[in-house]
Structure formats: C-alpha cells, structure tokens
Amino acid sequence: MRRKLVIGNWKMNGNRAANAALLSGIVSGLKDVNDRADCAVCVPAPYLAQCEQELNATPVAWGGQDLSIHASGAYTGEVAASMLVDFGAKYVLVGHSERRAYHGETNELVAQKAVVALAAGLIPVICVGETLEDREAGNTETVICAQLQAALDVIPVDQLDKVVLAYEPVWAIGTGKTATPQMAQEAHFFLRGCVAKKSEQVATKIQILYGGSMKPDNAVELLAQADIDGGLIGGAALKAADFLAIIHA
C-alpha cells in the first residue's frame, strides 16, 4: 500500500514570526498521527534555514519551490540544487502551474529540472495539470500526458521511483470551481497508466498527489480514491489547523 504524502506549498507567503508559529503548530499537532502518512512544507528560499532549524528531528520534511538547471554561475536570482541540499531540503517542486503560466516554463525545461534534482539527491515533485480551456476542449489527457512524458523521456527507469507526481487542475485552484473526487481520480488513474508504459512496477509505487484546492472539508473523500496518494496543499497549508486536518484525513 502506498504511503500518503501531504506537502504544503507556501507559495510567496510567510515571515519569520508567522512561520515559527505555523511550524510549531504543525509539529505539535503531529504527535498522534499514525505512521501511514508523511508530510513536508515547500517554502520560499529565504526560509529554508528557518525550516532546517525548527524542523530538524521532527517528522516534518522541507523543500524548495523551484530550482535552476545550472549548478552555479552568473544566474542572478536562481537557486541551485546544491543550495537546497545545503539547507537539508528533501523535496523540490518542479513545473508548478504558476511557474509554467507566469514564467513560461516548458515541458522540456521542467523535465530537465527534475533530472537535476534527482542528481542532487532531491525528490522532485513534478507538477502537471490542465487549464479550463484545455478541459473544456476535451484535451485534459493530451495535455497532462505531454507534460509527464517529457519527464519520462529523460528520467532513467531506475530513478523514476524517486519521483513524486502532483496533478493540478489549474481551473480548480482558487477559482471557486471544483473538481469532483471522481474527476480527480480519473486523472490520477490516467497518469499512473502513463507511468506504467515505462515501468509497471514503478507505476504501482509512485505517489501521485492531488493539487486542486484540497481542504479539510474535501480531503477525506479525495484521499479515499484509489490513485490519490496525498495532496499538494496551497492556502490550507498556511493554517496549522487546516494542514493538520488534511494530514489526519
């Protein structure tokens, strides 16, 4: 049985005082969580040191929200994989829908970032998802398959089991529109099938997280779906009580 994984994506939010209260609340609330779930927070780069200090020796892992394909050099504003590792990061998001939309990240660039992350010993959380326009045109599977396939083409099969996938129906994030648990399950099942074409063994093990506005009130039903292995949590990850409720679910 695949372990559940809940990752909080803070996006561009936080300050040192608020972070301290949030992390303390999460850690204290995890004391009675069973061993079927893992959790992590992916934070803005300036707060990696704070996470390392406050989460070391706790059940909560931490990670970055993006990374450069370059190891070092004249790339102002970029964050290298080695820098994330230097602060004890375990995970890194690659290809988040906001990076794709606002920064023009291509499927090929996202795939390259995943390869760089793996080489550094990080677990890349490869994000895929369709827009409302894609869904209404009936192109959901075509779009998310192309996004995933770019990564499958360059990640060796013996590294694929170190990858986490996240499905983000872009049209259901912060829009008031919702994907039903069945719609989410169908997309996750499809993605698992795409992985199976490269390795059936990996497909049975790979964790696929749901990133479409999972909240305490819909987490139980979503997490009960056969192919939904956890959540990539946005807004609810900024409130300890909400984040814990999803983990408990």
DSSP per position, 88-133: T--EEEES-HHHHHHH---HHHHHHHHHHHHHTT-EEEEEE---HH
Q: What is the mean pLDDT of residues 117-142?
A: 96
pLDDT digits (tens, 9 = 90+) for 167-186: 999 998 877 777 899 999 99
- Are 220 and 6 a contacting pair, CB within 8 Å? no
User: Which candidate, 192, 188, 190, places its Cα nearest to that of 209?
Assistant: 188
pTM of this prediction exceeds 0.75? yes
pLDDT digits (tens, 9 = 90+) for 220-237: 999 999 999 999 999 999
pLDDT digits (tens, 9 = 90+) for 86-116: 999 999 999 999 999 999 999 999 999 999 9
pLDDT digits (tens, 9 = 90+) for 50-65: 999 999 999 999 999 9
Catalytic residues: 96, 168
Number of H helices, E strands in the chain: 11, 8
* Residue corresponding to tokens 């993605």: 191
User: Which candidate, 239, 238, 199, 247, places its Cα nearest to that of 44?
Assistant: 238
